[in-house]
Structure 1
Amino acid sequence: MMNVAVIGTGSISSKHIEGYMSFPNRCQIVAVCDIYVDKAEKSIEDYHVNASAVADYKQLLNNPDIDLVSICTPPSTHAEIAIDFLKAGKHVLVEKPMAASLAECDAMIAAANESGRILSVIAQNRFRTPWMKLKQVLDENVAGKILHAQVDSFWWRGHSYYDLWWRGTWESEGGGCTLNHAVHHIDALQWMMGMPSEVQAVMSNVAHDNAEVEDISIALLRFPGGSVGQITSSVVHHGQQQQLVFQCEHAKVSAPWDLYASISQENGFPERNEKLEAEIQSFYDSLPDSQYEHHVGQIDDVLTALEHGRKVFIDGHEGRKTLELIVAIYKSAVTGQRVTLPLSETDPFYTKAGLMASVPHFYEKTASVERFEKNVITTTGHE
């Protein structure tokens, strides 16, 4: 039985709490922490867990009864909290984005290596059945080589979204929609296709004059084999329709799942290749569904790794790759230059201080509220 502490009780913490509660014979929540201790107490009450409420996570570092910690705090705090718990001998599951800089990612990975403890970074969409199946379709090359990748990470957030005290500043949030919303799809892209070798990007704030950070960015990518891609990260798109589309040699495949195959006529114009579509669809349908999805799936993976002494599916190195691609988008958007990957430790954008010294403040934050009384996450059924 794994004893778990949840650090931070913002809206995303409910996904962690409910995830752990899905496995009552494998784990139990024994502590909940928030700087507003009444919020921790409210979570304990709402979920009827037998846990203690604390205001300072450091009170839990030397607690021998805690095995695993979920970190659900603002991104700027991830590294410090994760490193402290890893050094204290606890396993760590940290929300996305992994950290505020590549330097912090490397410090977290080093702490995990030195302690021999698990560090896993949330990328819950990798556990969704359509994404898992799409990954296998691409890996098995049934549609041919990837020629072009299209990532539409379209979200919509109202003006007041950035009124929450830690949102909308480079210091506390670490960035805007590219870092905190498109991270899901950017992670999926690098997982499915690998890292690009070059990035060219632009960004702007077009609708949120109460935030320093961007609310839209567009990036063009070149991959080592010559393939190209594009990523649009946004919180200004009504309808919140998100998709990953891969145009391959023989067919288009995507999530949400869609399939279209073309074959050339004698004059080069296309006609639909229904035979190949049937073959690809049959392969897709033959793939098993994920037993557990979203946060539940990732929590199952972490628990299984701890129970059987194996590696987690998404470790610190995987979380770092996603952040490196995001940092490259920021660097290109700020400098107006094409950025080559990987980024070195001597790159000014490797550290948070270097990034902070370069990024624009599109606007200054005009409001700061401690909490929203109603804090419900609304997502979409289109991704």
Structure 2
Amino acid sequence: MRVGVALVGLGAAAQPHARSLLDLEDRAEVRWAATPSPERAAAFARSFPFPVTTDVEAAIGDPAVEAVILLTPPGTHLDLAERCFSAGKHVLLEKPVELTVARGERLVAAGRRAGRRLGVVLQHRFRPGSLRLREIIGAGGLGPIEAAWTLVPWWRPQSYYDEPGRGTMARDGGGVLLTQAIHTLDLFRSLVGVSEVVAAAARTTGLHRMETEDFATALVRLGDGAPGTVTATTAFVPGAPERIEIIGRKASASLVGGALRVQYLDGTAEALEAEGATGSGANIMDFPIDAHRALIAEFLDACREDRDPAIAGEDALASQRLIEEILRAAGFPPGSSERVAEGSRSA
């Protein structure tokens, strides 16, 4: 039996979800694609064959809708998710969970109280290279981790930040870490763990006019105590694939975009090629939908099987908490330390 789905929010983020749902038509029935914007509704209807409405409340309240995919700005997530949970719907939420960890915790708690399932779109975990690397680590193939680092050298032109609300605390809740690098940070944290932020720095470079950071770097301690580093930017023109590299006692692993290379000390090696571009440059939608499709399929299975999805709300919040800790250690943006510290204390 197919799961009845409503898409809420029809901006750019809706494209890979809608395309994925077309591929998953044997598992999901899109009952509504909803936005309060008549212009966005009309544009979406020209591209996809789903029923479109500007009545978001009606879409959420439709008894045939079992799950809602929320693709709206993060500051709207708490209110919309609470309305979905109250209507008895499961929720798949575009990252981040909310503007702050504190608001995200309220959202996660609302889902638990309602007995509904909550998933978060952090699709990098579903790339084939990511899945294989997790298998290798889980089987002890790398041995004890001695060090690891991640780098997100992306590019966004000023025109990207000239769009209303882009790069502001009020709409996005943060800059490169929360809006772009969260996918790679989440994958990095889920693979090797991060137990502590030792030191950090963040800034807005001269390449952009924006409120939040377009460069951040941190020295961290991994889950087993080994050293690690995190660096992310949207000021590296023209943009390059994100990477995660791990030094183990038995092998070293390099995950560049979706391409995996593992070199073992005994001289053997394995490789898994990437599935395509990663959206690292000016064209933010330049990536394949395979990982989105796999994540949505797993979420639909979780709804049917009445279990938590692979990336549940609490798990996603752990990655968002790491971002807040990095920004607090960096003291960025000026005056934000108290706000971030308050959110972290409530965690």
Deviations 1:222-241 (A, max 9, x none): 13532011111110113322
Secondary structure of residue in 2 paired with 1:222: strand
Aligned mates of 1:210, 1:35 — CA distance in 2: 29
Residues 1-383 of structure 1 correspond to what in structure 2 (within 5 A)?
Answer: 1-49=2-50, 51-54=51-54, 56-238=55-237, 239-255=239-255, 256-262=259-265, 273-274=266-267, 277-278=268-269, 281=270, 293-334=290-331, 347-350=341-344
Aligned mates of 1:260, 1:306 — CA distance in 2: 39
State whether residues 156 and 235 of structure 1, in contact with CA within 8 Å, keep that contact through their aligned partners in structure 2.
Answer: yes
CA RMSD, Structure 1 to Structure 2 (Å)? 2.3
Gaps of 5+ in 2: 273-288, 334-338
Aligned mates of 1:346, 1:173 — CA distance in 2: 14
Aligned mates of 2:16, 2:60 — CA distance in 1: 23
Partner of 2:281: none
Q: Which runs of 4+ in 1 moved over 6 A?
A: none
Deviations 1:78-110 (A, max 9, x none): 222112211221110011111111111111111
What amino acid maps onto 2:246 in structure 1? F
State whether residues 117 and 306 of structure 2, in contact with CA within 8 Å, keep that contact through their aligned partners in structure 1.
Answer: no
What amino acid maps onto 2:5 in structure 1? V
Partner of 1:368: none
User: Measured at CA, do residues 48 and 184 of structure 1 come closer, stay the same or move farther in structure 2, by a change above 3 Å?
Assistant: same
Partner of 2:275: none
User: Measured at CA, do residues 349 and 333 of structure 1 come closer, stay the same or move farther in structure 2, by a change above 3 Å?
Assistant: farther
What amino acid maps onto 1:348 in structure 2? E
Aligned mates of 2:236, 2:327 — CA distance in 1: 20
State whether residues 324 and 340 of structure 2, in contact with CA within 8 Å, keep that contact through their aligned partners in structure 1.
Answer: no
What amino acid maps onto 1:172 in structure 2? R
Corresponding residue pairs, total: 320
Aligned mates of 1:121, 1:46 — CA distance in 2: 25
Secondary structure of residue in 2 paired with 1:93: strand
Deviations 1:175-227 (A, max 9, x none): 00011111011100111112323342100111344310110100110135320
Partner of 1:381: none
What amino acid maps onto 1:332 in structure 2? A
Aligned mates of 1:260, 1:26 — CA distance in 2: 39
Percent sequence identity over matched residues?
Answer: 26
Give the Å deviation of 1:64.
1.5
Deviations 1:33-85 (A, max 9, x none): 22322212321231122x1311x523433322221111111122222211221
Aligned mates of 2:77, 2:229 — CA distance in 1: 29
What amino acid maps onto 1:326 in structure 2? I
Deviations 1:263-291 (A, max 9, x none): xxxxxxxxxx41xx25xx3xx78xxxxxx
The TM-score with structure 1 as length reference comes to 0.78
Aligned mates of 2:43, 2:217 — CA distance in 1: 40
Aligned mates of 1:174, 1:221 — CA distance in 2: 22
Aligned mates of 1:140, 1:146 — CA distance in 2: 13
What amino acid maps onto 1:333 in structure 2? A
State whether residues 134 and 254 of structure 1, in contact with CA within 8 Å, keep that contact through their aligned partners in structure 2.
Answer: no
Aligned mates of 1:319, 1:80 — CA distance in 2: 18
Aligned mates of 2:332, 2:122 — CA distance in 1: 29
